[in-house]
């Protein structure tokens, strides 16, 4: 259950669900049949009746149970939380979600421990971070939020910023890499720039030039597997230590890629949310 405060004069429930939130027909139908939307005092609301600014709508509906097995405790930092979503800082080396029934220590298992300890039962990640990537991950706490955040990811209105140290000196202060990415036929997990691959766009901006490397901030328009790693390698600046993508081996024998910021207009709270992760590379 949650509340929504109307901020636009004359908005109807129908317009809120279909036009502002752009929920799918099936979900809208389910909410209508369940009489899920009422006024704050429980009074039924007509879906096509204009509402006054400041009206509080109450949403009450059955929330399904997510099937992630909770860990004993949530051992990952929670950087932001409200009744609709939370943002956690995924550690490096931890998977975003289970890939088989034996996976019990993924980010979503820890998230579910937190959710259950607070009386909840639903949590679904909105995007993913690679195993070797650390940083901010957005998680929806109910199906309406999941539907809206999924669309926002598709429409690129959730701005995801990453930081990486790459080999060599990047001469351009900023740029856009627009190259399709597909699977490498000769390697099970590797990806390559390929004409037959999926559309992929990465924006980069130089933050600092060091002696033999460059610190860059990157913003994803799309979310392809290994996208930043593939794109930076493609322009001749692989992430330091990323030997899968042609970087030199380092003493750490791994790469550093950090999801440092999430920014979006919150669809329920009518405000812009900006969350930054601590511990940048430099």
DSSP state of 198: B
Q: Is the dihedral of CA 108, 150, 144, 79 positive or negative?
A: positive
Query: What CA–CA distance (Å, rounded) separates 107 from 124?
Result: 11
Contact 216, 210 (CB under 8 A): no
CB hemisphere CA count around 207 (13 angstroms): 15
Cα dist from 38 to 19, 208, 247, whole Å: 19, 53, 57
Which residue among the candidates 41, 75, 103, 130 is catalytic per the annotation?
Answer: 130
Query: What CA–CA distance (Å, rounded) separates 225 from 117?
Result: 32
Using DSSP, state whether 79 is helix, strand or coil. strand
The tokens 């036929």 sit on which residue? 185
Q: Which residues of 65-102 are buried (b: 16+ CB within 10 A; e: fewer)?
A: ebebebbeebebeebbeeebbbbbbbebebbbebeeee
* Catalytic residue flag (residue 130): yes
**Enzyme catalytic residues:** 130
């Amino acid at each position: 259950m949650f509340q929504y405060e109307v901020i636009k004069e004359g908005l109807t429930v129908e317009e809120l669900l279909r036009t502002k939130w752009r929920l799918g027909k099936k979900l809208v139908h389910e909410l209508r049949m369940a009489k899920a939307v009422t006024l704050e005092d429980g009074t039924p609301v007509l879906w096509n009746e204009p509402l006054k600014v400041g009206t509080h709508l109450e949403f009450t509906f059955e929330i399904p149970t997510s099937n992630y097995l909770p860990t004993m405790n949530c051992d990952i930092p929670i950087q932001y939380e409200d009744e609709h979503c939370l943002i956690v800082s995924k550690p490096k080396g931890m998977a975003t979600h289970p890939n088989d029934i034996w996976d019990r220590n993924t980010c979503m298992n820890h998230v579910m421990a937190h959710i259950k300890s607070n009386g909840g039962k639903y949590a679904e990640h909105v995007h993913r971070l690679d195993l070797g990537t650390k940083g901010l991950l957005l998680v929806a706490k109910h199906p309406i939020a999941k539907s809206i955040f999924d669309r926002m990811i598709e429409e690129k209105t959730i701005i995801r910023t990453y930081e990486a140290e790459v080999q060599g000196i990047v001469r351009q202060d900023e740029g856009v890499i627009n190259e399709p990415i597909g699977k490498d036929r000769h390697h099970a997990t590797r990806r390559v720039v390929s004409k037959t691959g999926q559309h992929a766009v990465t924006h980069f901006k130089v933050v600092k030039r060091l002696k033999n490397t460059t610190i860059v901030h990157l913003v994803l328009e799309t979310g392809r597997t290994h996208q930043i790693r593939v794109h930076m390698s493609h322009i001749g600046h692989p992430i330091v230590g990323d030997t899968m993508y042609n970087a030199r081996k380092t003493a750490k024998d791994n790469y550093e890629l950090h999801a440092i910021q999430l920014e979006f207009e919150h669809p329920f709270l009518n405000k812009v949310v900006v969350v930054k992760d601590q511990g940048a590379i430099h």
